Amino acid sequence: MIRAFANIFKVPELTRKVLFTLAIIAVYRVGTYVPTPGIDGHALARFFQSISQTPGGTLFGIMGMFSGGALQKATVFALGIMPYISASIILQLLTVVFPALEKMAKEGEEGRKKIIQYTRYGTVLLAIVQTFFISLWLENPNAFQGTVIVPNPGWGFRLMTILTLTTGTAFIMWLGEQIDQYGIGNGMSVIITAGIIESIPTALWQTWVLVSPLDPARQQLSYWKLGLLLVLFVFTTLSVVLIIQGQRKIPVQYAKQIRGHRVYGGQATYLPLKVNQAGVIPIIFAQSVILFPATLAGFFPKAGFLSTTATFLNPGSLLYSVLYGLFIIFFTFFYTAITFNPVEVSENLQKFGGFVPGIRPGRNTSEYLDYVMTRIAASGAVFLAIIALFPNIISSPKVLNIPFLVASFFGGTGLLIIVGVVLDTMKTIESQLLMRHYEGFIRKGRLRARR
């Protein structure tokens, strides 16, 4: 492994890409500390600290994870990359609904460029709408338990906030595109991962405080629990790697075609169906839906109905866990149905002379692929639900009673994103090394990039 990392710097082109990616990450991290004008950052930090243990604070913690902690600091990167993610998901949904967008998506490189451009417009539009409501929320002292966050409210502050935060989101989007073009890995994913990794030192410090080896009276986490956490972390990480890498290979045979004196086709290959086809999207959707009442209750503390609903949906309660798991399963099937079209795959196979052995081309093939994908998605949905609920279980007072920030690294969205992005980046680097006859990361066994 160490030799593989050393080989990276033996390839000049690969070295430039890696250093460029690290430089973009450094620029992004600097931007998370640039404050937004007109906001009392210290008062806002005290507010977020006071609600961190409440149901409404959980969603802020999730949003802060995607922004690298910039939301709690109200910096120019407070929105992070979430508007871009939302715009991308909305555009994918609209592609299924509107035939014009579906046709555009099938036009190859030109269609992809148009869709990316529409995604940029949607990102800016969503950022403007979100920042407007955020500015109204920041101006309201009742939402912050009487604390004044904005000393000089008004349209001047609102316009400045809209301009600052929207520009910050557009700049992050541009940074991600620069990584796509000149760096290593998927730019947006790398930026999200950099924001999540930023909270690792804080989580490690909280774990050290819980153990408190110098003060046994303050010790909240015994050594055997700490050892159990380490074992669970290794087991969960290995499980996530296996599920992300896992796929069902559908054998595909291409018929021989004789053109003149040459024979084309006849080779056998396979169609890979991923176990985790939907990625982390179902967890994000489920978190947004189930924590929405709690978030509104934090904004409007005098609304009795919202407060009652938030109490029943308190993270860690049985109702919360059941609904959260069901939402994840539902959104997994929903998003898989959008991203994987068995009829289209069957038509493409038939168009190029391919067929699944033992299955007739056309409708029978599409029904077979739908049958297989449904069962694969079911196993992936159950796994996502278990991983997502794992931090809530081990942070429960009845189990290990550790802070949610520490528990979040034993499952949930953060772990899935980190493992997925690291694997994807390793595949990219490995393919570059092997192409230039250097040893890759793994000698025994192979990454997907070698196959």
Alpha-carbon gap, residue 147 to 195, rounded angstroms: 28
Let me know: does 69 contact 29? Beta carbons within 8 Å. no
Distance from C-alpha of 328 to C-alpha of 334, rounded to nearest angstrom: 10
Sheet containing strand 268-274, edge to edge, reads: 268-274, 247-254, 354-355
Residue 163: the pLDDT is 92
Q: Quick one: tokens of 119?
A: 């995604």
Per the CB < 8 A criterion, the answer to whether 184 and 18 are in contact is yes
Distances (CA, A) of 309 to 127, 293, 306, 316, 391: 28, 7, 5, 14, 22
pLDDT values of the chain reduced to their tens digit, one per residue, 451 residues: 566 677 777 778 888 888 999 999 999 888 888 888 888 777 777 776 665 555 444 555 556 666 666 666 778 888 888 888 888 878 877 887 788 887 887 777 788 888 888 889 999 998 898 888 888 877 776 666 667 778 888 888 889 989 999 999 999 999 988 998 888 888 888 888 888 887 777 777 777 777 766 666 656 667 777 788 788 888 888 888 888 888 888 888 887 766 666 666 567 788 888 888 887 778 777 777 776 666 665 555 555 565 666 566 666 677 778 888 898 898 888 888 888 888 888 888 888 778 888 888 888 989 999 999 999 989 888 988 888 888 777 777 677 767 666 677 666 677 788 888 888 888 888 777 777 666 665 555 555 544 4
pLDDT at 316: 64
- DSSP code of residue 301: T
pLDDT at 440: 60
Secondary structure of residue 212 in the 3-state scheme: coil
pLDDT at 171: 92
CA–CA separation, 336 and 321 (whole Å): 22
**pLDDT at residue 258, rounded to an integer:** 65
pLDDT value, residue 92:
78
For residue 93, what pLDDT is reported? 77
Long-range CB pairs of 132-140 (<8 Å, 24+ gap) are: 132/158, 132/162, 134/78, 134/161, 134/165, 135/161, 135/162, 137/299, 138/39, 138/44, 138/74
SS3 content of the chain, % helix, strand, coil (to 5): 70, 5, 25
| DSSP conformation class of 273 | E
pLDDT of residue 213: 61
Q: What is the DSSP string of 83-116?
A: HHHHHHHHHHHHHHH-HHHHHHHTSTHHHHHHHH
First to last CA, the chain: 19
What the chain holds in terms of domains, given with CATH numbers, is 11-198 (1.10.3370.10), 208-410 (1.10.3370.10)
| In contact, 393 and 399? CB cutoff 8 Å | yes
What is the reported pLDDT for 136?
A: 80
The per-residue pLDDT for 125 is: 92
| pTM exceeds 0.85, yes or no | no
Q: Using an 8 Å Cβ cutoff, are 275 and 376 in contact?
A: yes
d(CA 93, CA 108): 19
